[in-house]
Structure 1
Amino acid sequence: MKHSLTFLVVSAALMQSAAADKLRVAIVPGIAVNLDAARVDALSQELADALEAELDIEAFGGLEVRRQLPPDGIPPDCVATPTCVADVAQRVGAQQLLFVVMVDTGTGGAIQVDTTWMEPASGKSASRPAIDIATLSDARARFVASAPQLLPDAPVRPKPKLGGGPVGTMKPEVPRHFTTPARVTAVVSGVGFGLGIAMGLRARSKYNDCDASPNTCTESQRDSIRTTGLIADAGLAIGIGCAIATTVLFVTSGQEARMVVAPTTEGSGGTVTWLGRF
């Protein structure tokens, strides 16, 4: 039990250390034209989520940031005032800030987002290219595409890699052929037909002898003719059945060319296997 608790404590400490090493970026709402605070916060949070999805950073925005700002918000000239920028950074606990200005252009709900990047510790700042959002449903895609431009120095989040080896293998075509079961049934079929024909001829010969001399044909001879006939019928039935089985086994013995795809994702333990025939 003590070892388990120690392991959990160490794991939590390592996770906190890894999180602390990540760059913290806050999306700070500035001037908004024709947009209410709720819409601005929703877009700011969407931008933060997009940055975290594309970059290996810790980004936050929306209500999480607004609640830590002054009740009346930040002054319009905050970006140009170092003391205001430093105060915002201290309030939100971020190393870098993205001040956003959002404008509803009035053309079918289109929104333009202007962003200014600032790093209070170094005093550096830079304007970023404007982001044009035609509809709100396009916001996430536009933010994801703009993430490297907004934070060009931030590390890119690693993408999942496919497992080793080729993702697909082409299996060659297998022509129709006589398999071992097919050979066995073919032999049994031949034996059955041979037995049926031989016993049938014998039964026919005995029958002709009795038919030529009915007075001398005994009851035991007649029983022998019936028995021989039954054996002949059984042999022919076995021959026909095995012939059909041989044909089925031969027809189904071939395989067309097929692709076997088995991608694996490292780190997640997931494996997907797909088999197809063409």
Structure 2
Amino acid sequence: MKALLPALALILAMFITAGAAHAERVKVAIVPGIAVNLDAARVDALSQDLADALSTELEVDAVGGLEVRRQLPPEGLPPDCVATPACVADVAKRLDAAQLLFVVMVDSGGGGSVQIDSTWIEPATGKSASRPAIDIAVITDARSRFAAAARSLLPDAPVRPKPPTGGNGGGTMTTAVPRHFTKTSMVTAGVAVVGLGMGIGFGIRAKNLFNDCDKPSAPCSSSQEDKIRNTALIADVGFLVAAAGAVATAVLFATSGEESRMVVSPSVESSGGVSLILSGTFR
């Protein structure tokens, strides 16, 4: 039992470290405010994209879209909510968020282009600040535009570290293995040969027995007919075994090879203490 204590302590420390790292992430809610020429569905979709971009680029827990709208009053927020401390506090309580990002979305009418203005508020301290506007000329570029603007929207949030990339991560190429007959495939091939021989042998035997009885002068007795049927059945079983063995041998041979692949071990250790090994096949 004493020998297990260090291991248990290490596991507990890992969980505490992971929990502390998660607890440090500030929850940020994207709150839909005024929307001009945009329906609720489109506003929610853009808000969700913005929340996803913030969570991807920064060490924050961002929420938006329907998840936020469902917790707001059914009649919506008043237009001056962002300037009303009581309204801001109510929204923060409903969403259980430490920071709020009120967004105003305007369809500029230029082929679906949208301009988004945002105001950052920290209800606990009363701090607020206007953030730079985001212009989205093509709606399909929304995610990339939000990702590029993430740091300007939440400048105090820590940047999420990116996974290491490039060809100097200590990767090694494995050796290619050509297709070959393994021991298992040799066994299945042997079974196929035995089954084929059994099928042919008993098939010929059944044919000869049938020919001996197929004479008007010497008709087969019931016992002879049973013997012919049993012999033919054994021949059929032999052919089935041969077919199964042949198929198994072909599959084993086809899957016996292995192409050369790159195994990459990241040289940068993550803050959570988790290391990853990535492997890929080059065709």
Partner of residue 270, structure 1? 278
CA distance in 2, matches of 1:51, 1:264: 28
Change (3 A) 1:61 1:265: same
CA distance in 1, matches of 2:20, 2:170: 36
Partner of residue 176, structure 1? none
CA distance in 1, matches of 2:134, 2:20: 34
What percentage of aligned pairs have identical amino acids? 63
Q: How does 1:1-278 map to 2 (within 5 A)?
A: 15-162=18-165, 263-266=264-267, 267-271=275-279
CA RMSD of aligned residues (A): 3.3
- Where 2:75 maps in the other structure, the secondary structure is coil
Give how far 1:18 is off: 3.2
Give how far 1:14 is off: 5.7
Give how far 1:158 is off: 0.6
Letter of the aligned partner of 2:69 in structure 1?
A: R
- Where 2:157 maps in the other structure, the secondary structure is coil
Change (3 A) 1:162 1:131: closer
In terms of Rg, which structure is larger?
1
CA distance in 1, matches of 2:141, 2:27: 25
CA distance in 2, matches of 1:10, 1:124: 36
Change (3 A) 1:7 1:91: farther
Tell me if structure 1 keeps the 8 A contact 2:263–2:278: no
* C-alpha distance after superposition, 1:214-240 (max 9, x if no partner): xxxxxxxxxxxxxxxxxxxxxxxxxxx
Tell me if structure 2 keeps the 8 A contact 1:109–1:134: yes
What are structure 1's unaligned runs of at least 5 residues? 170-260
Change (3 A) 1:160 1:92: same
CA distance in 1, matches of 2:140, 2:101: 22
Change (3 A) 1:264 1:274: farther
How many correspondences in the alignment?
A: 184
Change (3 A) 1:262 1:5: closer
Query: TM-score normalised to the size of structure 2?
Result: 0.57
Partner of residue 180, structure 2? none
Give how far 1:10 is off: 8.2
CA distance in 2, matches of 1:264, 1:6: 27
Tell me if structure 2 keeps the 8 A contact 1:163–1:265: no
* C-alpha distance after superposition, 1:120-162 (max 9, x if no partner): 1111111111101112100001000000000011000011125
Tell me if structure 1 keeps the 8 A contact 2:50–2:146: yes
Letter of the aligned partner of 2:48 in structure 1?
A: Q
CA distance in 2, matches of 1:70, 1:96: 19
CA distance in 1, matches of 2:264, 2:19: 33
Tell me if structure 2 keeps the 8 A contact 1:115–1:127: yes
What are structure 2's unaligned runs of at least 5 residues? 173-261, 268-274
CA distance in 2, matches of 1:264, 1:63: 39
Letter of the aligned partner of 2:265 in structure 1?
A: T
